[in-house]
Amino acid sequence: MQTEVALNAIVDAVVPGRSIGLGLGRRANAQITALTSLYSKAPGETLFVEGDEADSIYEIVRGMVRIHKLLPDGRRQITGFLSAGHLLGLAPEGAFVYTAEAITEVTLCRYKRAAFDRLIDEVPGFAKRLLAVASEELYRAQDQMLLLGRKSATEKVASFLLLMAGQQDDEEGEVEVPMTRSDIADYLGLTIETVSRTLSKLKQDGVIALPTPAHVEILAREQLDELAAGETVAAC
Q: How many C-beta neighbours within 10 Å does residue 38 have? A: 18
Residue 115 and residue 15 in one domain? yes
In a domain, 12, yes or no: yes
Half-sphere exposure of 168 (CA within 13 A, CB side): 21
* Bridge partners (DSSP) listed for residue 87: 59
Residue 93 and residue 180 in one domain? no
Residue 110 and residue 71 in one domain? yes
- How far apart (Å, rounded) are the C-alpha atoms in residues 192 and 182? 6
Residue after which a domain boundary falls, among 147, 164, 183: 147
- Which has more confidence, 135 or 83? 83
CATH code assigned at 28: 2.60.120.10
Residue 233 has pLDDT above 70, yes or no: no
Q: How many C-beta neighbours within 10 Å does residue 113 have? A: 16
In angstroms, what CA-CA distances link 191 with 9, 65, 186?
A: 47, 21, 8
Tell me the residue range of the domain where 43 lies.
2-147
Q: Give the global pTM.
A: 0.80
In a domain, 191, yes or no: yes
- How far apart (Å, rounded) are the C-alpha atoms in residues 53 and 84? 24
81-115 pLDDT, tens digit per residue, is 999 888 888 877 789 999 999 999 999 989 888 88
- How far apart (Å, rounded) are the C-alpha atoms in residues 222 and 209? 15
Residue 133 and residue 220 in one domain? no
Average pLDDT, stretch 173-184? 94
Residue 137 and residue 26 in one domain? yes
- How far apart (Å, rounded) are the C-alpha atoms in residues 10 and 135? 30
**In the prediction, which pLDDT does 171 show?**
66
- Which has more confidence, 229 or 220? 220
- How far apart (Å, rounded) are the C-alpha atoms in residues 200 and 194? 10
- How far apart (Å, rounded) are the C-alpha atoms in residues 184 and 187? 5
Residue 170 and residue 214 in one domain? yes
CB 6 within 8 A of CB 103: no
CB 67 within 8 A of CB 98: yes
Residue 142 and residue 189 in one domain? no
In a domain, 235, yes or no: no
Q: In the chain, how many domains are there?
A: 2
CB 220 within 8 A of CB 206: yes
In a domain, 234, yes or no: no
